[in-house]
Amino acid sequence: MTAAQKAREAFADQLKEVLRDAGNPSYTALERHSDSKLSTSRIGAVLNAEFIKPVTWEFVDTFLTACQLFAKSNGVAPARALYDRELWKRRHTILTGVLELLENEQGSAESAAFTVEPFPRRSGQALPVWRDQPSQLLAAQHQVVPFTGREGDLARLEEWRDGDGPVAAVTLLHGPGGRGKTRLAARLADSAGSRWKVWQAVRRSTSPMGATAPVLPALGNRNLLVIDYAERWPRQDLQTLLQRLAARPGDRLRVLLVARSAGTWWTSWQHDLRKLNWLTGTVELPPLSGRRTDAREEAFTAARDCFAAALGLSGPETVGRPPNLADDAFGLTLTIHMAALVAVDARLHGTTAPSDPVSLSQYLLEREYDYWAKLHEESPDVAIRPEIMAQAVYTATLTRALNYDTALEALTYARVDTPANLTTGRVLSDHAVCYPPPTPNTYLEPLYPDRLGEDFLALATPGYPPRPHLSTGWAEGTPAHLLGAATPDPAPPRPWTRDTLTILINTAERWPHIAKTQLYPLLKKHPELALYAGSTALATLAGFDTVDLTVLEAVEARFPDERHTDLDVGIAAITHRLARHRLATIHDPVIRALIQNQLEVRQADAGLHREALATNQEALQAWRDLARTNPAHQFRVAGTLHNLGIRLLALGRREDAVTATEEAVRIRRQLAKDNPAAHARDLGDSLNALGEVLAAVGRRQSALAATEEAIAVYRSLAENNAAHQFRIAGTLHNLGIRLSAVGRREDAVTAAEEALRIRRRLATDNPAAHAPDLAASLAS
């Protein structure tokens, strides 16, 4: 967590104290009691610390007034000290100063590397190159085939966009590659009409946290934002984008995320979005039904006729349909379109069209190779031989578009064979002739559609039955070279590392030889690389039907001990896959309970609170059973109860959280009495947690007493071990909040000042570890 985010959370926690004191009014009630000066979305953003710039004083003052009015209307006597305007003005001034200071010092370190720009309007105008490079007709941006076959899905999304509902709503449109998600999103954008401003969000950097500040244009009153490849975005970037949009939503804000999967990354993120009062939804794009062969036939016929017109073939009705159109493989819109395109192109060239999906890809890729050869022989603009172009295309498919200098570096890493009489820059410019980038100053535009690009990687890599022109020994090990992992000492991650790993994992999911010959050896040798792929790629790897579990275990050994925003969901997915395997083969009850404890923590870190609660309860029952015959397991019972309180609080079950945490304190108190050296710190942790859950149910005096006892425990420990100073500081910070809640303002200031002194000293010694906590103390 960054220092600025820590400061935001500290300020939000203070506002939540006021909210609890007023009787926990809903956001809608606060909006009503503020005469609509406060919006529910803005309240949610502030209370969840999901704001970028400091909140205005007007917001704070109106929030306090609305809470007081709600309390009085419900017969609750508000604690006057919590609403002191002078105190809040000081807090607001400090928060503003801290955020401005951090922004000046850190520049754009917290900024996400993306832009928001007008959604591109697509053109179906035929291009001469299409006769030689027919795969270009499949690209969604050309709209060669009008939108057909998904009218019901489109109507559902249009209802979401235009219908009644909250101001801000986000929906995930998901399905496997080739099912037509991008085309459907483009049709939704086209159908929006003049009442809507339609945008797309584009990541401009391939690093996990880019250095370019987000650019938000002047939004309209009704805004539709499309984010393609949403699952590949670092979570912090997506979070930053939606935070900034939520602060200026207009009358209507609709965000359409487009992704291949709706796995744990989406389940986890939905929880955070709902806390911000975003309405969330999920639309799975189903396959074209095999039971309704007429739907597939209609899609084939429409595509065939459009491709025939684009390629100049008359009499398209004489081009027959594949006999296997009802097969599962043709549930993808892309596969049907590929079959139609190949059928038309084969008729033009007097050959027989294949019908199975692999052969369709092979046909189109060999036509690409023919195009490269023709350009080399006939065009002065292309000097490199087709086999060198194949290497550049392979590299581009793995890296995606890059700026000039980075693209040069990528070709060098990939060992692309540059002829002695040419430069690497010439390879880039020749590649751009074949695959023009949509924006200036970028190179190595990948082969589209994505699924065809993945098929090219697979067919070009040895391990599958050889394909003329395509399979090459050069591709053997190229992913490892591109990732700087072909030597015992791997190079630092490159700007393309995340995309390369993601695409390699996606390809390996459908092509087993890529998994066995490229991905698995790479990750066994350098498992730390997987951590650069991000959560969704890790979750995809964990979801392979026949994944090599030794690969997952090697990656697991490199997991960070602490939370990691960009990895938590993927870590939870791999931990769950391994736990499922281990629990099926291990019968020792102690080891089984430990596996469940580990899984619970990872699920909670990923925001999967319900799953974490269920896992915790299984582990708790196991430890209780063990402790009945062996009291030595009581400390495990207490630790699992401690976590249970945290899980219940996260799900809003406050009273149950108090019960669980009180039991944890009782057990740990006895354990610490018998063996202080082993259990005193655990007692302090549970007392601190008890203070939090008691405050959540409004038992302020009891919360204060628990927090004060936690301080005493930590001070005793710190007498012999200075490493406990950070716990003292954190609990003093909480103590200040508890004291303020009961009206002891001077004592609260004293506690906060001591926390500040300790954290300032700790941050001087270790800024990376303690600067965020220092920011929180400054903000409070």
Query: 3-state secondary structure string, 153-173?
Result: HHHHHHHHHHCCCCCEEEEEE
Give the orientation angle of helix 3-21 with respect to helix 57-73, to 10 degrees. 20
Gap between the Cα atoms of 386 and 508, Å rounded: 26
For the domain that residue 713 is a member of, what is the CATH number? 1.25.40.10
Which whole-number Å values give the CA distances from 336 to 145, 305, 326, 459, 525, in the listed order? 12, 13, 11, 20, 40
Q: What is the pLDDT of residue 48?
A: 76
List phi, psi (to 5°) of 170.
Answer: -130, 135
In terms of phi and psi (left: phi > 0; alpha: psi -120 to 50; beta: otherwise), the region of 192 is alpha
Tokens 């690389």 appear where?
Answer: 529
**pLDDT on residue 110:** 41
Q: State the Cα–Cα distance between residues 323 and 458, nearest whole angstrom.
A: 26
Tell me how far the alpha carbon of residue 721 is from its chain's centroid: 39
Whether residue 566 is contained in a domain is answered as no
Residue 154: give its domain's CATH number. 3.40.50
DSSP bridge partners of 148: none
Please state, in angstroms and rounded to a whole number, the distance separating the CA atoms of residues 189 and 374.
38
Listing DSSP states for 205-246 in one string gives --SSS-SSPPB-----SEEEEEETTGGGS-HHHHHHHHHHHH
Strand partners, 118: 199
Are 678 and 671 a contacting pair, CB within 8 Å?
Answer: yes
Residue 545, in any domain of the structure: no
Strand pairing category for 168-174 and 197-203: unpaired
CA distance 202 to 93: 35
Examine the domain organization and report whether 690 and 680 are in the same domain.
yes
* Same domain? 701 vs 742: yes
Beta-ladder partners of 200: 117, 226
> Does 497 reside within a domain?
no
Q: Are residues 42 and 172 in the same domain?
A: no
In angstroms, the CA 599 to CA 568 distance is 12
> Please, are residues 779 and 11 in contact by the beta-carbon 8 Å criterion?
yes
- If you search the block for the tokens 């697979």, which residue do you land on? 458
* Alpha carbon 193 to chain centroid, angstroms: 30
Q: How far apart are CA 688 and CA 16, in angstroms?
A: 18
Does some domain include residue 488? no
119 secondary structure, DSSP code: P
Select from 276, 273, 298, 301 the least CA-distant residue to 288.
298
3-state secondary structure string across 300-368? HHHHHHHHHHHHCCCCHHHCCCCCCCCCHHHHCHHHHHHHHHHHHHHHHHCCCCCCCHHHHHHHHHHHH
Residue 145 has what pLDDT? 85
Q: Is 255 helix (H, G, I), strand (E, B) or coil?
A: strand
Q: Give the three-state DSSP class for 252.
A: strand
Do 343 and 360 fall into the same domain?
no
Are 29 and 86 in a shared domain? Answer: yes
- Spatial distance between the Cα atoms of 622 and 64, rounded to a whole number of angstroms: 46
How far is the C-alpha of 769 from the C-alpha of 172, rounded, in Å? 35
Q: Are strands 197-203 and 114-118 parallel, antiparallel or unpaired?
A: antiparallel
What CATH number is attached to the domain comprising 13? Answer: 1.10.260
Residue 143 lies in a domain: yes
Last residue of a domain, one of 263, 284, 305: 284
How many helices (H) and strands (E) in the chain? Answer: 32, 6
Instruction: Specify whether 150 is located in the same domain as 176.
Output: yes
Residue 214 pLDDT: 55
Place of tokens 């235009």: 162
For the residues of 564-601, what is the DSSP string, one character each? Answer: -TTTHHHHHHHHHHHHHHHHHH---HHHHHHHHHHHHH
Task: Name the β-bridge partners of 224.
Answer: 198, 254
Element at 114 (helix H, strand E) = strand 114-118
* C-alpha R_g of the chain: 29
Residue with tokens 């006939």, as numbered in its chain: 378
Question: Is there a cis peptide before residue 146, judged by omega within 30 degrees of 0?
Answer: no
Q: How far apart are CA 750 and CA 339, in angstroms?
A: 74
For the packed helices 676-696 and 700-718, what is the interaxial angle rounded to 10 degrees?
Answer: 160
CA–CA dist 135, 145 (Å, integer) = 13
Cα 191 to Cα 273: distance, rounded to the nearest angstrom:
26
Nearest to 671 by CA among 701, 703, 641, 715: 641
In a domain, 541, yes or no: no
What integer pLDDT is reported at residue 206 of this predicted model?
Answer: 46
| Rounded Cα–Cα distance for residues 392 and 409 (Å) | 12
Q: Which of 355, 375, 407 is the last residue of a domain?
A: 355
Q: Which domain holds residue 207?
A: 114-284
How many other CB atoms are there within 10 angstroms of residue 351's CB atom? 11
| One domain, residues 173 and 274 | yes
Distance of CA 770 to the CA centre of its chain: 26
pLDDT score recorded for residue 100: 66
End-to-end CA distance of the chain: 17
Cα 708 to Cα 545: distance, rounded to the nearest angstrom: 52
- Are residues 10 and 159 both part of a single domain? no
Asked whether residue 165 falls in the same domain as residue 16, the answer is no
Three-state helix/strand/coil letters over 475-486: HCCHHHHHCCCC
Contact 184, 339 (CB under 8 A): no
CB 622 within 8 A of CB 637: no
| Whether residue 747 is found in the same domain as residue 631 | yes
Question: Given this model, what pLDDT does residue 642 score?
Answer: 98
Rounded CA gap, 226 and 120, in Å? 11
- Given CA atoms 391, 393, 397, 402 in this order, what sign does their dihedral have? positive
Mean pLDDT of successive 10-residue stretches along the chain, which has 780 residues: 71 87 87 85 78 79 93 86 85 78 47 74 65 88 78 91 86 89 90 88 58 59 90 82 74 90 83 79 81 78 92 90 86 92 94 92 94 92 94 97 94 93 93 88 92 95 73 89 87 91 96 96 95 93 94 96 87 97 97 98 93 98 98 98 97 96 98 95 96 94 96 92 87 90 89 87 73 67
Residue located via tokens 């190595």: 444
The Cα 250–Cα 169 span in angstroms is 12
The answer to whether residue 677 is domain-embedded is: yes
Are residues 322 and 304 both part of a single domain?
yes
Please indicate, yes or no, whether residues 73 and 144 belong to a single structural domain of this protein. Answer: no
What pLDDT score does 209 carry? 40
pTM attached to this predicted model: 0.81
Domain contains 626: yes
CA distance 118 to 253: 15
pLDDT the model gives residue 673? 95
Among 87, 106, 125, the domain-final residue is 106
Domain count, the chain: 5
pLDDT of residue 53: 62
